[in-house]
Amino acid sequence: MGNKQTVFTHEQLETYQDNPFRQRIAQVFSEDGDGHMTLDNFLDMFSVMSEMAPRDLKAYYAFKIYDFNNDGYICAWDLEQTVTKLTRGELSAEEVSLVCEKVLDEADGDHDGRLSLEDFQNMILRAPDFLSTFHIRI
Amino acid sequence: MKPSKACQRYRSIRRNTSQHYFYQESLLLSNLDDSFNADETGESNDPEQIFQNIQFQKDLMANIRCRPWTMGQKLGALRRAKEIVLKFEGRLTRTRGYQAAGAELWRKFVRLACNFMVIFIPWEMRIKKIESHFGSGVASYFIFLRWLFGINIVLTIMTGAFIVIPELIAGQPFGSTASKTIPKEHVMSAQDLDTVWSLGGYLQYSVLFYGYYGRERRIGRAGYRLPLAYFLVGMAVFAYSFIILLKKMAKNSRNSLASVSNENYTFCWRVFCAWDYLIGNPEAAESKTAAIVNSIREAILEEQEKKKSKNLAVTICLRVVANILVLLSLAGSIYLIYFVVDRSQKLEQSKKELTLWEKNEVSVVVSLVTMLAPSAFDLIAALEMYHPRTTLRFQLARVLVLYLGNLYSLIIALLDKVNSMSTEEAATKNNTSHWIDSTIFFATRTASEEEKWSTPGPGTGLLRNSTWAPEETSVPAYTLPLSEANKTTVYTQRPQDQCWETYVGQEMLKLSIIDMLFTVASILLIDFFRGLFVRYLSDYWCWDLESKFPEYGEFKIAENVLHLVYNQGMIWMGAFFSPCLPAFNVLKLIGLMYLRSWAVLTCNVPHQQVFRASRSNNFYLAMLLFMLFLCMLPTIFAIVRYKPSLNCGPFSGQEKMYDIVSETIEKDFPAWFGSVVGYVSSPVVILPAVLLLFMLIYYLQSIARSLKLSNQQLRMQIQNARSEDKKKVAQMVEARIQTQEESSMRLPKDSDLSSQLSWAQSVAPQSNGTVVNLDSSSSKRGRGETAAQRTPPSPQPGLGSPSSPLPGTSKSRLEQNANRCLRGRSTSAGDRHENRSCSPGMRMKHAEVVHSEPLFRRDFQQIDPPLRGPGLSVVVPRGPRSCAPRYYIINERDSRQIPHPTFWPERHFRMDALGDMVEMCPRTRRQGVSWAPQQGHSPQLSEEEENAPRRELVQWSLHPQSLRGLQGAPHFYVGDRSESQTLVPEHQRRMMHFKSWDDGFEAPLDRPVCGHKKPRSRNFQSAQHPPKLRGKPKVEPSLSESDSVSAASSSDQQNGSNDQSLQVAPSPAKFRSSVGQLGRRKAIHRQELVADLNDLICSNV
């Protein structure tokens, strides 16, 4: 109740600027989706990104982070965004689309052309280093 | 009591099912409902129920971290759960309450202690800092180092407590016996630097090495059996290492699901798991990006290469050449080491005084080879043109082989020396047998010396010298005991020099020290000075130093880890002969930790290649285990094969070292024990035991295989189920589209619309009184109102009767009517505030609801940011709020569309529960939503229709519970005073109820609903439970209204791309209208306004 709303200024984000998904993280955890966080949102973020957080929780929020258009599925467009951010635009368009295609090919369990949360969890929980890399320290 | 039984049964089912976390979570809200329910009914004093309830709450409290809720939700739920637990536990027994309080205190204390303990985890902050700069790969090296450090500490404690300290305290003091005294002529040089350097002098005659330990079977007053302890600890070191390694590996493999080899998500992992969220350093981020780009490109290339065949001849040739080169260099290094050991022996025999280099050349050469060969392998690997990952693996394998080869050639050379030592010893013994006093041990020694020195003949002397050489230089003089002093007139040397164990221990320790020095040197040279050079001379150089040739040193995780493994291998190898080696290694690791971390932070850049190594990776550990096994072999071999030195060490005078065990058993245990041990160790027992072990291994392996198979099959099954599910959903959607199209003509005429509208209104009031959607036309509104006004008189009968079975369509119609009635009532309640005296109270209540549900509100804010303008902020929380519940309903309905409650839909419920519906709501489902109103007419869904009325009732009857679940109980009582009031909140409840219902099917089943409000709800309950359990998938009719509301607000309901507007549009409208209404009713409903303002303060400030 009555939490102060903290706006993350650009400078503050600067300190965490190396993460290509910083905007997404802020959006996912902020209540109104524009990256402005209250203290509670902030706590949410760090409770999810802490080492103690359970695997499924992490997977769930990772899914949200990668779901750029917030439609509950990681579609090709989301994937493109992800890849582009990840590689800082160093891959050509064909490469990006190839990668997206491959990703969908691999993980899309129900062949609907996009990744649902289950597909995503199924995939990411098998990744050897997801748990160790998906957390943040302050 | 029927419902409660049902619920119990259900709970037991739930308990029995695997406690999947989603599932647990899904239970949570319903759980709250239960508790509040019980709370409210009050009279349900069934202790069993209460107990279960408390268990639920405790579960909840324990697992609250695992739930994907927002912090406020978590806090609220936790608080509530605590309240309930306290309350009910107090009711059950007083002591239980105290117990709970005590447990709480204890928990807090433990938490505090945990936080406090973190301070004592060595280097935690340092590692975290590194981790945050360089990512988890580099940090994993340090974590591994720390883990090794821990192991070494335990080993040190073991050897220290059971060997070193007893020897120091109770053993004979230094200088008391021959084996503990520095020989006379070496006393002078005992403190020379090079003697100390080569671990001679005082160091040799100290607890550092095997030779110092006395042979007395019992020492001290307590009769501590030092020799036995020495042997047992020596074995325990290996046993402990094995156990701890295997345990760790098992734990790791349990943690990682990555065991399935046939599932390969190359690209997925590269995309989704590539980024290391820990990276906080621009340089590291850059190199990580580069690495990711590389890895993705590689993957693409691989993918392309899979398709096209290529000319392999050249690469194969190159690879063959490379492998030959590697083999050559391996053989070379092994030969080099063997040669150096051999040469050092020869040198020692030919020269009396050795230079510093000559003394240390073995260890120096070994360390040099260890350092340089990996780089050579690196170069060779470039020839092969493998995939980088394969290259890395080859590299690691080669380096490991090299290290092992080094260690092995060293130990073999040493053992060779030991061999010749013991033969020589035997020879001298024979020679000296004719001498005076052969019974006295030391006499024979000295005698042999004398003889040796008296015979200057080159032939024999050479032979002897060759074997005794090391001792001559390092451990010469020896002060004789008095008895022998007169006999040995001349140079009496090295009686205890034949202590080959000490020699081996010395070599291992020396190797370890020199390895440490080389590590330090290489860190300084290769990393630090190179970094300095590159950094400061870059400006004055003709090319770019930073990006071209020398660059900055990379932190090569794999090789560094291998080095650690190698180092630990040395320790294991030498620990038996030099009990203080683990202690030394502890120091070394501490030094290494500080130096490495400093070097990494100051002058390294992260490795370009992606090396997947993390905490949950068994790669390091597997290498370590391999190393441990291979290092144990020579030690065990030496122990078993060679006779212990005659005049030094705890086992002197015995045939084999392990004789100490049998000796102890014979002498110090009762006779029967000895015979038992004899039987047990006889082939009669051993052979069957070995056979049994083999059988066990085979059995376990076959079980593992079958488990793997079944695992695979299960996965297939899941996949099939999922795809079938989706197909069915798709078919259903299609069918609905068709029916929708058919009925869309009829739709406007249909009276459904009015009910829909009334529903819309009912949604509105809940947010802000009588607000009606602006998007809906005024005429519609009027109709809706009329419908609402028409219906109020008859809600009760409509609701009361539905349990009676009616034919399909007519029933659904009736049911819809009932719905409409109820809704109408609610709307009217909302609409006609002025007429109702109690409405302010209701509003107050509503405000309270808002208060208690801040998070709920937040979610809605997320939905429409445009509303957050400063002037309009007054109503902001409300407009969105009214919108969001609708959302839940939509989702709810969607999920119910899926007729088969497989685990797939469940997950969707889970998502729904989060409140972030907007993101989660899938497009197809939304489309499905729009068809919903027609469901009643669609022929395919007749069975659903049949179920519908009942479900509907269930729903209605259950609202209070759900409301309770989400809001404080007291508020509820306020609202419950009159029927008209309750009906309005009911909508709210309903919405929340959906939410909660999403979470758990069992939510509504159990408890009697709030009694004083509607008796009829109770009546229905018993009848309704079973269908609810099964028939979860449908509440469509009721949902259809919500749907139509959104349909009214959005121009094109069937367009998937319009989804967002679907939600956003209604809220501003409502907001506006609510503003107007507020203005109108300000005077009347001041209370409410105050509440609102409170709200706003909470939410927006």
User: To the nearest 10°, the Cα dihedral for B767, B770, B776, B780?
Assistant: 140
Domain end among B627, B650, B673: B650
Is residue B85 domain-shared with residue B214, that is, in the same domain?
no
Closest CA to B491 of B519, B526, B456: B456
Note the pLDDT of residue A35: 72
Q: Is residue B366 part of a domain?
A: yes
Residue with token string 């990411």: A124
Torsion sign over Cα B661, B663, B668, B669: positive
Phi and psi at A115, nearest 5°, equal -100, 120
Is residue B164 domain-shared with residue B234, that is, in the same domain?
yes
- Cβ <8 Å between A90 and B289: yes
What residues of A are in contact with residue B71 (Cβ under 8 Å)? 40-41, 43-44, 47
Alpha-carbon distance B909 to B888, whole Å? 10
Interface ipTM above 0.90 = no
Note the pLDDT of residue B896: 40
Question: Which of B143-152, B727-736, B1072-1081 is predicted with the least confidence, judged by mean pLDDT?
Answer: B1072-1081
What residues of B are in contact with residue A5 (Cβ under 8 Å)? 1100-1101
Q: Is B1012 helix (H, G, I), strand (E, B) or coil?
A: coil
Phi and psi at B555, nearest 5°, equal -90, 105
Is residue B307 domain-shared with residue B249, that is, in the same domain?
yes
Note the pLDDT of residue B239: 93
Interface test mutation site (partner A, options B74, B271, B727, max chain A beta carbons within 10 A) = B271
Mean pLDDT calculated for residue range B153-159? 92
Note the pLDDT of residue B706: 95
Give the gap in angstroms from C-alpha A58 to the nearest C-alpha of chain B: 9
The answer to whether B1067 contacts chain A (CB < 8 Å) is no
- Cβ <8 Å between A111 and B723: yes
What DSSP line would sit under B691-704, residue for residue?
A: HHHHHHHHHHHHHH
- Cβ <8 Å between B616 and A110: no
Note the pLDDT of residue B1042: 40
Alpha helices by DSSP H, listed for B914-1058, are 917-920, 923-931, 942-966, 969-975, 979-999, 1015-1030, 1036-1049
Backbone dihedral region of B201: left (phi > 0), alpha (psi from -120 to 50 degrees) or beta? left
Alpha-carbon distance B759 to B784, whole Å? 8
Task: Return the ∠ at Cα B202 (arms to B200 and B205), rounded to 5°.
Answer: 85
What residues of A are in contact with residue B296 (Cβ under 8 Å)? 83, 87, 91, 95, 99
Alpha-carbon distance B588 to B662, whole Å? 37
pLDDT in tens, B563-580: 888 899 888 988 888 888
What residues of A are in contact with residue B615 (Cβ under 8 Å)? 132
- Alpha-carbon distances of B887 from B470, B764, B1069, rounded to whole Å: 86, 13, 16
Note the pLDDT of residue B783: 42
Is residue B116 domain-shared with residue B205, that is, in the same domain?
no
Backbone dihedral region of B907: left (phi > 0), alpha (psi from -120 to 50 degrees) or beta? alpha
Phi and psi at A5, nearest 5°, equal -90, 125
CATH number of A10-133: 1.10.238.10
Alpha helices by DSSP H, listed for B93-123, are 94-120
Backbone dihedral region of B237: left (phi > 0), alpha (psi from -120 to 50 degrees) or beta? alpha
- Cβ <8 Å between A126 and B260: yes
Give the gap in angstroms from C-alpha A9 to the nearest C-alpha of chain B: 18
Q: Can you read off the two tokens belonging to residue B872?
A: 């309009």
- Cβ <8 Å between B911 and A87: no
With a CB cutoff of 8 Å and minimum separation 6, the contacts of B680 are: none
Q: Can you read off the two tokens belonging to residue A54?
A: 């359970």
Closest CA to B617 of B223, B159, B144: B144
- The more confidently predicted of residues B615 and A111 is A111
Give the gap in angstroms from C-alpha B718 to the nearest C-alpha of chain A: 10
Alpha-carbon distance B1009 to B999, whole Å? 19
Among B395-399, B454-458, B852-856, B1001-1005, the range with the most confident prediction by mean pLDDT is B395-399
Find, in chain B, the residue whose alpha carbon is nearest to that of A135: B277
- Cβ <8 Å between A126 and B263: yes
Note the pLDDT of residue B424: 67
What DSSP line would sit under A23-58, residue for residue?
A: HHHHHHHSTTSSS-EEHHHHHHHHHHHSTTS-HHHH
Contact B886, B1025 (CB under 8 A): no
Note the pLDDT of residue B781: 42
Task: Please report which confidence band the pLDDT of residue B249 belongs to, taking 50, 70 and 90 as the band edges.
Answer: confident
With a CB cutoff of 8 Å and minimum separation 6, the contacts of B492 are: B446, B449, B450, B478, B480, B484
Alpha-carbon distance B511 to B567, whole Å? 10
Residue B512 pLDDT more than 50?
A: yes
Closest CA to B497 of B434, B568, B445, B554: B445
The answer to whether B132 contacts chain A (CB < 8 Å) is yes
Contact A33, A90 (CB under 8 A): no
Give the gap in angstroms from C-alpha A17 to the nearest C-alpha of chain B: 8
Q: How many helices (H) and strands (E) does chain B have?
A: 45, 2
Note the pLDDT of residue B693: 95
Interface test mutation site (partner A, options B25, B134, B272, max chain A beta carbons within 10 A) = B272
Domain end among B60, B85, B120: B120
- The more confidently predicted of residues B612 and B560 is B560
Mean pLDDT calculated for residue range B967-993? 40
What residues of A are in contact with residue B916 (Cβ under 8 Å)? 64
Residue B697 pLDDT more than 90?
A: yes
- Alpha-carbon distances of B843 from B318, B770, B1087, B1088, rounded to whole Å: 83, 11, 8, 6
Mean pLDDT calculated for residue range B213-228? 80
pLDDT in tens, A78-120: 888 888 888 877 778 888 888 888 888 777 767 777 788 887 8
Note the pLDDT of residue B698: 96
Cα A17 from chain centroid (whole Å): 15
Residue B552 pLDDT more than 50?
A: yes
Instruction: Provide the angle, in degrees to the nearest 10, between the axes of the packed helices B619-641 and B388-432.
Output: 10
Torsion sign over Cα B986, B992, B997, B1002: negative
| CB-nearest partner of B293 from A44, A87, A129 | A87
Note the pLDDT of residue B357: 73
Q: How many helices (H) and strands (E) does chain A have?
A: 8, 2
Mean pLDDT calculated for residue range B748-774? 42
Mean pLDDT calculated for residue range B35-61? 64
DSSP state of B873: G
With a CB cutoff of 8 Å and minimum separation 6, the contacts of B528 are: B599, B602, B603
Question: Which of B545-549, B715-719, B727-731, B1046-1050 is predicted with the least confidence, judged by mean pLDDT?
Answer: B1046-1050
Is residue B212 domain-shared with residue B78, that is, in the same domain?
no
Average pLDDT, chain B: 63
Q: Which domain holds residue B705?
A: 687-738
Cα diameter, chain A? 49
Q: Can you read off the two tokens belonging to residue B495?
A: 């009686």
Is residue B138 domain-shared with residue B266, that is, in the same domain?
yes
Q: Provide, rounded to the nearest whole percent, the portion of chain B with pLDDT above 90.
A: 6
What residues of A are in contact with residue B300 (Cβ under 8 Å)? 95, 98-99
Question: Which of A16-20, B163-167, B738-742 is predicted with the least confidence, judged by mean pLDDT?
Answer: A16-20
- Cβ <8 Å between B267 and A133: no
Is residue B228 domain-shared with residue B359, that is, in the same domain?
yes
What DSSP line would sit under B701-762, residue for residue?
A: HHHHHHHHHHHHHHHHHHHHHHHHHHHHHHHHHHHHHHHHHHHHTTGGGSTHHHHHHHHHHH
| Rg for chain B, CA atoms, rounded | 41
Residue B440 pLDDT more than 70?
A: no
Torsion sign over Cα B267, B272, B277, B278: negative
Torsion sign over Cα B859, B864, B870, B876: negative
Q: Is residue B987 part of a domain?
A: no
Alpha-carbon distance A83 to B799, whole Å? 55
Note the pLDDT of residue B744: 62
Phi and psi at B477, nearest 5°, equal -60, 160
Buried b (16+ CB within 10 A) or exposed e, B822-855: bbbbbbbbbbbbeebebbbbbbbbbbbbbbbbbb
Residue B768 pLDDT more than 90?
A: no
The answer to whether B881 contacts chain A (CB < 8 Å) is no
Task: Please report which confidence band the pLDDT of residue B546 belongs to, taking 50, 70 and 90 as the band edges.
Answer: low
| Number of domains making up chain B | 3
Interface test mutation site (partner A, options B267, B1067, B1101, max chain A beta carbons within 10 A) = B267
Q: Can you read off the two tokens belonging to residue B740?
A: 């929708």
Alpha-carbon distance B1048 to B756, whole Å? 10
Question: Which of B52-56, B275-279, B416-420, B1013-1017 is predicted with the least confidence, judged by mean pLDDT?
Answer: B1013-1017
Note the pLDDT of residue B709: 92
Alpha-carbon distance B1008 to B162, whole Å? 68
Mean pLDDT calculated for residue range B924-946? 41
What residues of B are in contact with residue A133 (Cβ under 8 Å)? 135-136, 273, 275-278, 614
Alpha helices by DSSP H, listed for B745-807, are 752-768, 778-790, 795-800
Q: Can you read off the two tokens belonging to residue B39?
A: 């709370």
Is residue B643 domain-shared with residue B505, that is, in the same domain?
yes
Note the pLDDT of residue B1053: 39
Cα B52 from chain centroid (whole Å): 31
Find, in chain A, the residue whose alpha carbon is nearest to that of B128: A137
- Cβ <8 Å between B922 and A44: no
- The more confidently predicted of residues B335 and B132 is B335
Residue with token string 């689309």: A97
Burial class (CB within 10 angstroms; exposed 0-12, middle 13-18, buried 19+) of B264: exposed
Alpha-carbon distance B937 to B522, whole Å? 82
Contact B768, B1070 (CB under 8 A): yes
Mean pLDDT calculated for residue range B756-780? 41
Is residue B507 domain-shared with residue B618, that is, in the same domain?
yes
Alpha-carbon distance B600 to B621, whole Å? 23
What residues of A are in contact with residue B260 (Cβ under 8 Å)? 126
State the DSSP H helix or E strand holding residue B794, giving kind and residue range, or none if neither: none
Mean pLDDT calculated for residue range B159-174? 84
Cα diameter, chain B? 132
Alpha-carbon distance A61 to A84, whole Å? 20
Task: Please report which confidence band the pLDDT of residue B387 belongs to, taking 50, 70 and 90 as the band edges.
Answer: low
| CB-nearest partner of A60 from B68, B260, B266 | B68
Q: Is residue B575 part of a domain?
A: yes
B604-606 and B553-555 beta bridge pairing: parallel
Domain end among B650, B679, B695: B650
Contact B623, B400 (CB under 8 A): yes
Q: Can you read off the two tokens belonging to residue B400?
A: 């490991």
Domain extents in chain A: 10-133
Alpha helices by DSSP H, listed for B1031-1085, are 1036-1049, 1059-1064, 1066-1081
- Alpha-carbon distances of B4 from B831, B953, B1009, rounded to whole Å: 38, 19, 11
